[in-house]
Amino acid sequence: MTPDPNPNNGAMDDDALDQQVRTFLAARPLIQAHIGSLVRDAALAEDVFQEVWIRFERVTRRGEIVANVPAWCRAAARLVALESWRRQGREQATEDEELAALVEQAYEDQDVQAEIWGARSAALKHCLDLLPDRSRDLVTRRYRDGQPLAEIADQLSQSLGSVKTAMCRLRLALAECVRKRLASNPACS
Amino acid sequence: MLMNETRLEELLLAYEDNTLRSDELTEFKHLLRSSPAARERLVEAGVLQSVAKSHFFIEAAAAQLPTKQNRLFQWRPLMAAAAGIVLGMFCTSVVFGYVGPRVVEKVKAVFSEGFESGMTKTAPGVPRVAGQWSGDEAEVVTSTPEVKAHGGAKMLRFLSATYPGENSPRSQWGDVYRIVDVRGLAGAGSTVARVSASFAQGVVTGEERFACRVGAYALDQDLSTLPSSLNHTWLQQNNSATGSRRAVLTGTGRWQEVSVELPITRETRFVVLHLAVVQEQPTLNSGVVQFSGHFMDDVKVELITRP
């Protein structure tokens, strides 16, 4: 066996791979958000995210360095989503190619400031905890259970319009809460 | 460009629900193309979806997530921790599925229904006792020319998105429920209940789209303590763990199995199954959907325990 001329190479590789996993974890909110925007199906989004992680873990385990982790994950997510749609015999969620490209661009825009999304996510969790019961119920139905507006309206015996209005106000209020939270804690932004 | 935030929010919600009309699609694309702020808001909405989901799921169920999975990842501590964080974010199924080949699991079938004997139709309303099918109107039928029973000769046919006496002004959901008694069945170790059912549809018109849903709620309460007004909302708010999965029904006579897993403990007494079909398109402003040919068969509950 030829001796390794630089015995520290292994440690350096390990550091790089650890950094790669840290980058994935830091980018997780955006990676999950991208998948949600891409597939627009809560159950499928879970499956795709988990499969993206498994593929990422596999390449990391093999020692491959991923230069741009968010971009790699977006590409992997598109591939996994396409495979899932084909397997299920379904059409892809975004048939309009221009819209799909605009959604991709929206996430690419954020690559340059990916680190702020960790702080935004933390602020958002804080704001979610402040929600009154009715809003909390709405958010739970929408995001934990993945219910479309029409289904929520059906279960609450309310009109679709009133649920849509409530959800719009709720989301804008959460966005405002996040902005205020970040502004009052500049160290986080 | 000045952006009407409320209008953008409406378009984002329609985009998320895949219900953008063609004029809205044009408007939405114009906004995204011309406004970086609109694109950033799309990302914010996506982050809200992922953060809220994990935040509220963790509140409901993370206390029951297994804690030993990390030691099964032998390669690198950070990788193991990351896997625990990543896979533990949403549900336990993949945590178990990922490490599954390395551990011995015990699978115990606790409920199986092929509708071959016994019941003929659902009892009206949400059930209050174990061992009874109830919910919206549905009946046991034999195979039809379009849909053959999924094993055996019979299956359950969804008839209506309501039941006699409910007087619902508007409903697109045909829901059926069953309470399964799991007292004392959780094993030593981590146990999940896997609930599965198969769904199929007959011929539907071009504009119609239907989906099916499997939901399950773990209850620690005794049935005698359930409120008289037991309903879906109560189940959502009072379960000790829950899981659901939804799938669009495609093709004619094609059976699609949908399954969901939820963690249960020694305190779990019952699992309430909520199985449904829904008319997604066209949406209704009023009235109740009468299902023309939507079927369910082969409902199972298995408890999977890993040491």
Query: Each residue of B138-192: pLDDT tens digit?
Result: 999 999 988 999 878 899 999 999 998 888 788 899 999 999 999 888 877 788 8
* pLDDT at residue number A115: 74
What dihedral do alpha carbons B29, B35, B39, B41 form, nearest 10°?
A: -110
Cβ partners under 8 Å of residue B48, min gap 6:
A124, A143, A171, A174
Nearest-Cα distance to chain B for A100, in Å, is 10
* pLDDT at residue number B185: 83
How many Cβ atoms sit within 10 Å of the Cβ of residue B260? Answer: 24
Residues within 8 A of B (CB atoms), A 4-33 only: 14, 17-18, 21-22, 24-25, 28-30, 32-33
* pLDDT at residue number A44: 83
| Nearest C-alpha neighbor of B194 from the set B263, B255, B116, B290 | B263
Q: Which contacts of A185-189 are long-range, i.e. CB under 8 A and separated by 24 or more positions?
A: A185/A123, A188/A119, A188/A122, A188/A123, A189/A116, A189/A119
Burial A27-64 (b: 16+ CB within 10 A, else e): bbbbbbbbbbbbbbbbbbbbbbbbbbbbbbbeebeeee
* pLDDT at residue number B96: 30
* pLDDT at residue number A25: 82
Report pLDDT digits (tens) over B27-64: 999 999 999 999 999 999 999 988 888 777 655 443 33
Distance, CA of B142 to CA of A188 (rounded, Å)? 62
Nearest-CB residue to B32 (from A53, A106, A143) = A106
Provide the terminal-to-terminal Cα distance of chain B, rounded to the nearest Å. Answer: 59
Mean pLDDT of B282-300: 89
Q: Is A43 on the interface with B (CB under 8 A)?
A: yes
* Phi and psi, residue B156, nearest 5°: -100, 135
| Nearest C-alpha neighbor of A22 from the set A14, A33, A10 | A14
* pLDDT at residue number A93: 60
Q: How far is CA B128 from the centre of its chain?
A: 20
Report pLDDT digits (tens) over B66-116: 333 333 333 445 555 565 555 544 433 333 333 333 345 678 888 889 998
Report pLDDT digits (tens) over A80-127: 988 888 876 666 666 688 898 999 999 999 887 777 888 898 899 999
B138, B174 in Cβ contact below 8 A?
A: yes
* pLDDT at residue number A41: 83
Nearest-Cα distance to chain A for B110, in Å, is 25
Nearest-CB residue to B49 (from A36, A88, A160) = A36
B210, B280 in Cβ contact below 8 A?
A: yes
- Stretch(es) of chain A classified as CATH 1.10.10.10: 115-189
* pLDDT at residue number B86: 54
CATH of domain B107-306: 2.60.120.260
Could you tell me what percent of chain B has a pLDDT over 90?
41
State the angle between helix axes of B77-87 and A42-61 in degrees (0 to 180), rounded to the nearest 10.
170
* pLDDT at residue number B186: 81
Token pair of B279 as six digits: 């008319």
Distance, CA of A48 to CA of A36 (rounded, Å)? 9
Q: How far is CA B18 from the centre of its chain?
A: 19
Nearest-Cα distance to chain A for B117, in Å, is 32
- Stretch(es) of chain B classified as CATH 2.60.120.260: 107-306
Report pLDDT digits (tens) over B237-252: 788 888 888 888 988 8
Under the banding of pLDDT at 50, 70 and 90, the label for residue A155 is: confident
Under the banding of pLDDT at 50, 70 and 90, the label for residue A46 is: confident
Q: Class for domain A9-111, per CATH?
A: mainly alpha
For residue A143, the 8-state DSSP code is I
Nearest-Cα distance to chain B for A180, in Å, is 15
* pLDDT at residue number B1: 41
Distance, CA of B263 to CA of A49 (rounded, Å)? 20
* Average predicted confidence (pLDDT) for chain B: 81
Asked if the model's pLDDT at residue B284 lies above 80, the reply is: no
Q: Are strands B170-171 and B287-288 parallel, antiparallel or unpaired?
A: parallel
The secondary element (H helix, E strand) that includes residue B299 is strand B290-306
Mean pLDDT of B277-282: 89
Under the banding of pLDDT at 50, 70 and 90, the label for residue A14 is: low
* pLDDT at residue number B50: 85
- Stretch(es) of chain A classified as CATH 1.10.1740: 9-111
Q: How far is CA A74 from CA A97, A105, A111, A186, B40, in A?
A: 16, 11, 11, 30, 16
| Nearest C-alpha neighbor of A117 from the set B46, B90, B53 | B46
Inter-chain CB proximity A140 and B168 less than 8 Å = no
Task: Say which CATH architecture domain A115-189 belongs to.
Answer: Orthogonal Bundle (1.10)
Q: Are strands B106-113 and B290-306 parallel, antiparallel or unpaired?
A: antiparallel
Inter-chain CB proximity B83 and A128 less than 8 Å = no
Inter-chain CB proximity B15 and A40 less than 8 Å = yes
B interface mutation test: which of A17, A50, A163, A172 has the most B CBs within 10 A? A50
* pLDDT at residue number B125: 86
Q: How far is CA B258 from CA A43, A99, B196, B301, in A?
A: 11, 30, 6, 12
* pLDDT at residue number B94: 33
Nearest-Cα distance to chain A for B194, in Å, is 15
Inter-chain CB proximity A105 and B28 less than 8 Å = no
Residues within 8 A of B (CB atoms), A 62-81 only: none
Which of these ranges, B27-36, B127-136, B193-202, has the smallest mean pLDDT?
B127-136
Cis peptide, bond prior to residue B124, ω within 30 of zero:
no
Q: Is B244 on the interface with A (CB under 8 A)?
A: yes
| Nearest C-alpha neighbor of B215 from the set B160, B260, B171, B269 | B260
